[in-house]
A and B are shown apart, each in its own frame.
Chain A
Amino acid sequence: KQEVTQIPAALSVPEGENLVLNCSFTDSAIYNLQWFRQDPGKGLTSLLLIQSSQREQTSGRLNASLDKSSGRSTLYIAASQPGDSATYLCAVTLGSNYKLTFGKGTLLTVNP
């Protein structure tokens, strides 16, 4: 059974700091991995999708890396801003099917 773990559960940083969020998964035979953002009381917004054959994806100040063999992914946020404050969720799929397995998320607070 695939399990996804995100560390830390919560993170508080001052504005402008670069930071890394971690995601690990137990079954390395993933099809892809996604990072989502969830604002309080809101739905999920997809940030980055990394296919199993890729090592990283970038979107603006966000960079996600994937090391499939070790079962790890990181989300790097450069020059953090208060507007980045949210919960960040990692999700993996084992095949090209519908089943996303989510971690519990990292609650990020960026202080002005």
Chain B
Amino acid sequence: SQTIHQWPATLVQPVGSPLSLECTVEGTSNPNLYWYRQAAGRGLQLLFYSVGIGQISSEVPQNLSASRPQDRQFILSSKKLLLSDSGFYLCAWSKGLAKNIQYFGAGTRLSVL
């Protein structure tokens, strides 16, 4: 069976510090991978989408970037965090043509202070 892992579960970072959140998927190959953010009072917002190694689509302009160094690894990064980057970050995967049937990780709660 497939599983998706995200870490860390919780992170508190000062403004201006770098960020690296990691997501890995097990039990499948060539997954589509996604990063979402859930900010207080707002719905889930898709940040990045990847169909393969090194292929990243950005959905909204922002202070963040994403990379996919391996088939089942997806990394969310920032060089300098802003207060507005605080939120709950979720990684998800889907397979093949059923791109909109997505399976979510447990999330990372990021607080930028």
Contacts and interface: CB of A to CB of B under 8 A. Distances in A.
Contacts of B107: 41-43
In the complex, which range does the number of interface residues on chain B fall in?
A: 20 to 34
Contacts, number: 57
Size class of the A contact interface (CB-based, 8 Å): 20 to 34
Contacts of A104: 41-43
25 contacts: A4-B43, A31-B100, A34-B100, A41-B88, A41-B109, A43-B6, A45-B104, A46-B101, A46-B102, A46-B103, A49-B101, A89-B43, A89-B44, A93-B100, A96-B97, A96-B99, A97-B99, A98-B46, A98-B94, A98-B99, A98-B100, A99-B100, A102-B44, A104-B41, A104-B42
Interface of B: 6, 32, 34, 41-44, 46, 49, 59, 88, 90, 92, 94, 97, 99-107, 109
